[in-house]
Amino acid sequence: MSSVPKMPMIVPRAQVARPGTHMQTTTLSYENIHLHGELFANVFRARKQSFIIQQNWDLPEALGMEYDQYDTPASRWIAVHEHGEVLGGMRLTPTTSRCGLYTYMIRDAQRGLLDTIPYNLLYDEAPVSPHIWESTRVFVSHDAPMSIRRSIHALMVSEMTRAALAVGATKIIALTAGNWTRWYPRCGLTAEAVGPMMTIDGGQFQCVMIDLLANLN
């Protein structure tokens, strides 16, 4: 009796997901950090990598994390992440915040409390309003491929808008890169300059006010 030849075993090729396929956004606060495992710590680790290691900023660090006086329970932290890796992020702080001498970064610079930022960065007095929050520590990971960087920016802007509106903010004030007029519209942001162009650490920066309601209709 002839034997039936065995068919060769076919091993399926492993499916390798492209970077950025499973990106998520999360708004972190002191109220919900217990729900997100290492993500909160990973945001601060990614900030160290971006600001201290890559950009060589002189900032406080501990346990492999970058932090400053504005990382208080009043703030929120936005993370774009994939499989636990933080690809981008930012911090949102209410302009009504107060912690000892400090309020929020732009206002404290105007008050002369920060020697790394010129005091004359605004045309007018820094706003204090429950409807205006400040955006700082905006970054995209150095390891993020160029092919997904625009998507990371878009996700950050979308989550920033959602998170800010959820706490009653309608505007965001930020000290941002001087080329904002070119890339803000690409991200769907409407903003106006509220301070002069300034040179800080060899780069051009300007304070802007972002109108979160402008593109909602």
Domain boundaries, the chain: 24-211
Per-residue pLDDT tens over the stretch 95-135: 999 999 999 999 999 999 999 999 999 999 999 999 999 99
pLDDT band at 202 (very low <50, low <70, confident <90, very high): confident
Secondary structure string (H, E, C) spanning 89-151? EEEEEECCCCECCECCHHHHHHCCCCCCCCCCCCCCCCCCCCCEEEEEEEEECCCCCHHHHHH
Per-residue pLDDT tens over the stretch 177-199: 999 999 999 889 999 999 999 99
**Predicted pLDDT at 37:** 82
The top-level CATH class assigned to 24-211 is: alpha beta
Tell me what percent of the residues of the chain surpass a pLDDT of 70: 90
Q: Provide the token pair at 73.
A: 């329970």
